[in-house]
Amino acid sequence: MRKQTDILPENMVVLFEELEQECLTAIKYIEALKAKELSESQKEDILGELSASITHLRIQAIELDKELEETDKL
């Protein structure tokens, strides 16, 4: 059985792991917003964190896309 690093270059593995972690972070904030007893201040804080997480996701997706394009050229 081949290891994940045998299939993908190490930098791609790292990018996928970072993307996965940021997705989980975004999900955590989305779930937190579902709580019924949040104050307006808590909602604002969570929305701010979610916005930052979404920004990180965009950046990571762009970087991953660039790496995938380079891999396709090989």
- Residues 10, 11, 12: CA angle, nearest 5 degrees: 90
- pLDDT of 10 reads 83
pTM: 0.80
Tell me: pLDDT of 49 over 80: yes
Burial 24-48 (b: 16+ CB within 10 A, else e): ebbeebeebeeeeeeeeeeeeebee
Mean pLDDT, rounded, for 39-51: 97
- pLDDT of 74 reads 63
